[in-house]
Amino acid sequence: MAATAREDGVRSLELGQRGCKHYDGGCLLKAPCCDKLYTCRLCHDNIEDHQLDRFKVKEVQCVNCEKIQHAQQTYMTRDWRQLDNEVAQTPMPLEYQNVTVDILCNDCNGRSTVQFHILGMKCKICDSYNTAQAGGRRVPVDQQ
């Protein structure tokens, strides 16, 4: 189905799923043949009068932050889920348990305030761990 990231992403999140009936993905493919955004090549092929060559797709759009970026061979969501599990299983020392920090995401350029963790801080916008502390001091949650 052709869609903008906002239309597709918001609708999918409301349904509790991402992507389409063919794939569970967090991005839209930018079809180089017609310059339209689709959830997958099968959705494209069902609507258009031509086929999408998936190997020619060079750009994707994130459904969370709407940033268009280069298509990658690696799928980072699996890595972020593994890091989610590691963070959940790694308790922080008492003095850091309620500390929040401001972060800047290197993937979507978003800023957010998150709980500090030594293994990484997850972007609230695109769910990436490719983040850096954006300065400011760490503030315990109970002192905010």
Q: What CATH number does residue 99 fall under?
A: 2.20.28.10
Burial class (CB in 10 A: 0-12, 13-18, 19+), 58: exposed
Do residues 10 and 49 share a domain? yes
Do residues 96 and 66 share a domain? no
Q: Which residues contact 87 (CB under 8 A, 6 or more apart)?
A: 117, 119, 120, 122
- Residue that the structure tokens 């994707």 belong to: 60
Domain extent, residue 29, equals 5-70
Nearest to 113 by CA among 92, 81, 135, 130: 135
Determine the pLDDT at residue 19.
72
Do residues 58 and 98 share a domain? no
Is 75 within a domain?
Answer: no
Q: Which residues contact 72 (CB under 8 A, 6 or more apart)?
A: none
Give the mean model confidence (pLDDT) for residues 128-143.
76
- Total domains in the fold of the chain: 2
Residue 64 has pLDDT above 80, yes or no: no
Nearest to 131 by CA among 95, 59, 82, 80: 80
Is 85 within a domain?
Answer: no
Is 83 within a domain?
Answer: no
Determine the pLDDT at residue 128.
87
Is 78 within a domain?
Answer: no
Q: Which one-letter amino acid corresponds to residue 20?
A: C
Quote the mean pLDDT of the chain. 79
The pTM score is 0.52
